[in-house]
């Protein structure tokens, strides 16, 4: 394929991620959303951009530095991608801070939630803040004067720092003129003033404002000419040669601290930073002006995420709700989950339905004397996990517990290492999957002795075993004791813990073996039906679509006449609606209160309505470098539920749906006439136990 053909068929991944963050920022710009939720979306954009720079931009810079030859699938060189991304990221950040300063903060002030600037402090506030500085800040601050014996410090990744310009000589006669003050991470970035000195219901002060006001106390006898907050973002990819290390966990423990000191990829400074200091910081960090972001406000908006939780103003937040339960689990207060699963498969749709049955499944297994073994994969589960506590309890009681812990789950490595250690301490078998392949599959299995034989029960899902994110992410989970499905799940566990060739699976599609070829075959099957004049249809929902062969197969299916709807939250490299290429493909993205996380694949399959759920996106890594499963929904009643709740309602959304054009640009779909339909609100109304509002 020539470069020009590649350009016409594929969109760029990094540019697509910036586009996605523009859609998230649009949620913060939405005046109909509660004000504190708008602030959260603003913070989410900052969090997303942090990871984008730590991983994707860092990768681009490495390619540029290594002079990596060749074009990407989109036909762009790394230098071209970086230039476009830099321009778009600067525009996005400018838009972000404009929204903060012109709408969010003034809007909060109008309802009694004020972030006080130094110039606005009254005498009582000024005295309290001074006392706070000497009591809480001064003892833990370490100013570093820069001279020949004090070089520029290795500032931690994403830490808050202050560059101070000074005049005069210190006690030793030194007159360097520059110092760095690092704010320890234990210090809160936003401090709430006591009610008795607050001018409104809630008064907050930024840590940076307090330090600016009293930075002179750190440099006795010298004159402070300027104090500028700054933040460096660093390459955070870990390097562990899995082929060489003898113990992955020990190697990873040694590598984790270095994440804070990777090569710098971005510098953020406050708007008051002098040009001289900006140039000095860029030089010290080895960065150029393309990597420089000067902002009007705090350099780390992520830390504002904590503020809404400290404010008791329900009118400024989304209405709370209580997740529901499937009808089969509503009948009794104390449910024998195994008895319920034996009757029928059970489908859970989070967050509209509770994650508690999953926890109950494992807790009951831990206590049940008839349960002999539990197996589970762990990718992300959090630092405080009832799931992991149940597994520890099961192992402590003498049950055979095997846990496949993915140590290389990005940014969750430390938590997973800690859980692995605790599990081993109580006798659980802990394994780390397969070298070179992250274990991303979401599955748990319980083996129970019943009527003289062993029966297997499985839970498979699209999301992590993480109770907190199950309240925020949309995901499906399925309980089943179908013997063949459970046999397939068991086979995958055997691959993860033992050695030997992969066995043939009847129902599950698995990466890196069959998943990719099965998806290609399913797409081709629809294309063949369309060519034969038979009805054909594809609907797929996922986080990202990037794999070139899958995209080409979808183009061929479109040419054959297959009507295809793709619901893709994040990055999509496919160009929809292009004449002669993809006229029959539509792409939409849903961005709302909940993070759309479920992966659902529907193929008409000659009228059989094949529906699969998965932990995997259609990306190279998911198909070829991860252990993933894609599992069918077999019961007709549950198929209808997935089709209705997971796909059709999203295709009807005219409130939070963004439609993508062939150039990768998105337009918010709005209801000009007729009834407004928001998929997430509809599902809350239909499935939650206590409706919002």
CA distances from 129 to 49, 88, 207, 407 (A): 32, 39, 10, 43
Confidence band of 333 (pLDDT split at 50, 70, 90)? low
Q: Name the more confident of 462 and 385.
A: 462
pLDDT(417) > 50: yes
Q: What is the largest CA-CA distance in the chain?
A: 90
End-to-end Cα distance, the chain:
55
Beta strands in 484-570 (DSSP E): 509-511, 537-542, 563-568
Using a 10 angstrom Cβ sphere, with 0-12 exposed, 13-18 middle and 19 or more buried, the burial of residue 578 is middle
Helix (H, G, I), strand (E, B) or coil at 519: helix
| Geometric angle at alpha carbon 463, from 305 and 646, rounded to 5° | 100
pLDDT band at 185; cut points 50, 70, 90: confident
In whole angstroms, give the CA distance from residue 30 to residue 593.
Answer: 12
Strand partners, 614: 599, 630
Helices 78-99 and 35-51, packing angle to 10 deg? 160
SS3 content of the chain, % helix, strand, coil (to 5): 40, 25, 35
- Whole-number pLDDT of residue 534: 97
- Confidence (pLDDT) at 224: 93
Contacts of 491 (CB under 8 A, 6+ apart): 502, 503, 505
Tokens 């929204």 identify what position?
Answer: 99
Question: Which residue's entry shows tokens 């010298």?
Answer: 222
The long-range contacts involving 120-124, CB below 8 angstroms and separated by at least 24 positions, are 121/205, 122/197, 122/199, 124/197
Instruction: Check residue 5 and give its pLDDT.
Output: 42
Question: Can you give the pTM of this predicted structure?
Answer: 0.92
- Give the DSSP letter of residue 27: H
Question: In the chain, pLDDT over 90 holds for what percent of residues?
Answer: 75
Q: Which two tokens stand for residue 176?
A: 């360097």
Mean pLDDT of the chain: 90
Active-site amino acid positions? 440
Higher pLDDT, 261 or 210: 210
- Distance, in Å, from the CA atom of 207 to the CA atom of 364, rounded to the nearest integer, reads 47
Please answer whether residues 383 and 355 qualify as being in contact, where contact means their C-beta atoms are separated by less than 8 angstroms: no
Q: How far is CA 5 from the centre of its chain?
A: 33
Q: Which of 564, 544, 554 is nearest to 623 (CA)?
A: 544
Spell out the residues 6+ positions from residue 410 whose beta carbon is closer than 8 angstroms to its own: 55, 236
Sequence-ordered alpha helix ranges (H) in 203-243? 207-214
Q: Would you say the CATH fold of 327-429+443-492 matches that of 3-316?
A: no
Closest by Cα among 214, 261, 268, 272 to 239: 261
- The yes-or-no verdict on residue 563 having pLDDT over 60 is yes
Q: What are phi and psi of 573, to 5 degrees?
A: -90, -10
Give the CATH number of domain 3-316; options: 3.40.47.10, 3.40.605.10, 3.30.1840.10, 3.40.190.10: 3.30.1840.10
Q: What is the reported pLDDT for 75? A: 87
**CB under 8 Å to 571, separation ≥6 — which residues?**
13, 16, 17, 19, 20, 544, 545, 546
Q: DSSP label at 541?
A: E
Give residue 675's pLDDT: 86
Domain 327-429+443-492: homologous superfamily in CATH: Endonuclease Chain A (3.30.870.10)
Sketch the domain layout of the chain as residue ranges.
Answer: 3-316, 327-429+443-492, 510-687
1 pLDDT more than 60: no
Q: What is the mean pLDDT of residues 468-490?
A: 97
- What would the CATH number be for the domain defined by 510-687? 3.30.870.10
Residue 670 · residue 581 · CB < 8 Å: no
Q: How many CA atoms lie within 13 A of 666 on its CB side?
A: 28
Average pLDDT over residues 455-482: 96
For residue 397, give the DSSP letter. T
Distance CA 410, CA 388 (A): 19
pLDDT at residue 693 above 60?
A: no
Question: Is residue 590 scored above 90 in pLDDT?
Answer: yes
Residue 10 DSSP code: B
Residues of the chain above pLDDT 70, percent: 90
Read off the pLDDT of residues 22-47 as tens digits, 9 standing for 90 and up: 999 999 999 999 999 999 999 999 99
Residue 498 pLDDT: 79
Q: Are 467 and 482 contacting, i.e. CB atoms less than 8 angstroms apart?
A: no
Q: How many CB atoms lie within 10 A of CB 524?
A: 15
Is residue 154 within 8 Å of 164, Cβ to Cβ? Answer: no
Give the integer Cα–Cα distance in Å for 603 and 523.
8
Q: How far apart are CA 172 and CA 174, in angstroms?
A: 6
User: Per the structure block, which two tokens stand in for 23?
Assistant: 């859609």
The pLDDT tens digits for 215-268 are 999 998 889 999 999 999 998 764 434 444 344 444 444 444 444 458 999 999
Specify whether the backbone of 500 is left (phi greater than 0), alpha (psi in -120 to 50) or beta.
Answer: left
Helix (H/G/I), strand (E/B), else coil: 195: helix
Q: What is the dihedral of CA 648, 654, 658, 660, to 10 degrees?
A: 70
Q: How far apart are CA 136 and CA 134, in angstroms?
A: 6
CA gap 287, 523 in Å, rounded? 46
Q: Which residue has the tokens 């991608």?
A: 81
Least confident of 120-134, 138-152, 317-331, 387-401: 138-152
DSSP output for 72-121: -TTS--HHHHHHHHHHHHHHHHHHHHHHIIIIIHHHHHHTTEEE--GGG-
Angle at 383 between CA 369 and CA 351, to 5 degrees: 80
């Amino acid at each position: 394929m020539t470069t020009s053909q590649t350009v016409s068929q594929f969109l760029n991944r990094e540019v697509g991620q910036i586009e996605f963050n523009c859609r998230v920022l649009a949620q913060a710009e939405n005046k109909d959303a509660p004000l504190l939720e708008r602030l959260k979306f603003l913070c989410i954009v900052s969090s997303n951009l942090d990871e984008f720079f730590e991983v994707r931009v860092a990768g681009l810079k490495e390619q540029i530095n290594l002079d990596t030859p060749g074009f990407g699938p989109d036909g762009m060189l790394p230098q071209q991608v970086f230039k476009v991304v830099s321009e778009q990221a600067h525009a996005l950040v400018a838009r972000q801070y404009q929204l903060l300063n012109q709408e969010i903060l003034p809007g909060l002030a109008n309802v009694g939630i004020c972030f006080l600037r130094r110039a606005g402090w009254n005498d009582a506030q000024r005295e309290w803040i001074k006392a706070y500085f000497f009591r809480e800040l001064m003892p833990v601050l370490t100013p570093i004067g820069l001279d020949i014996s004090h070089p520029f410090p290795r500032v931690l990744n994403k830490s808050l720092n202050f560059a101070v310009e000074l005049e005069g000589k210190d006690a030793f006669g030194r007159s360097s003129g520059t110092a760095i003050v690092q704010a320890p991470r234990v210090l809160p970035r936003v401090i709430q003033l006591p009610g008795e000195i607050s001018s409104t219901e809630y008064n907050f002060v930024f840590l940076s404002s307090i330090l600016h006001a009293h930075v002179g106390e750190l440099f006795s006898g010298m004159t402070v000419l300027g104090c500028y907050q700054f933040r460096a973002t660093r390459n955070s990819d870990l390097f562990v040669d899995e082929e060489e290390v003898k113990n992955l966990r020990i190697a990873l423990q040694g590598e984790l601290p270095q994440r804070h000191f990777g090569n710098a990829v971005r510098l953020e400074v406050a708007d008051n930073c002098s040009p001289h200091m900006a140039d000095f910081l860029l030089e010290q960090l080895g960065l150029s002006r393309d990597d420089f972001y000067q902002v009007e406000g705090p350099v780390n908006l992520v830390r504002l995420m904590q503020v809404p939780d400290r404010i008791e103003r329900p009118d400024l937040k989304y209405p709370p709700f209580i997740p529901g339960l499937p009808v089969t689990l509503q009948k009794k207060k104390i449910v024998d989950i195994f008895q319920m699963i034996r009757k029928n498969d059970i489908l859970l749709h989070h967050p509209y339905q509770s994650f508690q049955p999953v926890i109950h499944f494992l807790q009951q297994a831990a206590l049940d004397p008839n349960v002999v073994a539990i197996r589970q994969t762990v990718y992300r589960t959090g630092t405080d996990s009832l799931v992991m506590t149940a597994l520890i309890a099961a192992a402590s009681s003498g049950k055979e517990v095997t846990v496949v812990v993915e140590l290389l789950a990005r940014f969750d490595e430390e938590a997973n290492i800690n859980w692995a250690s605790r599990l081993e301490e109580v006798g659980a078998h802990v394994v780390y999957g397969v070298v070179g392949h992250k274990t991303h599959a979401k599955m748990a299995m319980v083996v129970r002795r019943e009527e003289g034989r062993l029966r297997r029960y499985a839970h498979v899902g699209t999301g992590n075993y993480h109770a907190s994110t199950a309240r925020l992410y949309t995901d499906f989970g399925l309980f089943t004791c179908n013997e063949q499905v459970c046999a397939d799940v068991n086979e995958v566990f055997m691959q993860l813990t033992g050695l030997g060739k992969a066995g043939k699976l009847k129902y599950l599609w698995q990466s890196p073996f069959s998943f990719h070829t099965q998806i290609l075959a399913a797409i081709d099957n629809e294309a063949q039906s369309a060519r034969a004049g038979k009805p054909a249809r594809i609907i797929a929902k996922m986080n990202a679509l990037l794999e070139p062969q899958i995209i080409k197969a979808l183009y061929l299916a479109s040419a054959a006449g297959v009507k295809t709807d793709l619901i893709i939250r994040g990055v999509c490299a496919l160009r929809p609606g292009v004449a002669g290429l993809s006229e029959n493909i539509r792409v939409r993205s849903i961005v709302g209160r909940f993070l759309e996380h479920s992966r659902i694949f529907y193929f008409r399959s000659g009228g059989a309505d094949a529906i699969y759920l998965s932990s995997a996106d259609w990306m190279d890594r998911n198909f070829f470098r991860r252990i993933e499963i894609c599992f069918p929904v077999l019961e007709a009643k549950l198929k209808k539920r997935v089709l209705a709740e997971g796909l059709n309602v999203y295709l009807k959304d005219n409130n939070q749906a963004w439609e993508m054009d062939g150039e990768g640009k998105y337009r918010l779909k709005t209801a000009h006439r007729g009834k407004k339909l928001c998929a997430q609100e509809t599902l809350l109304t239909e499935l939650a136990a206590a409706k919002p509002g």
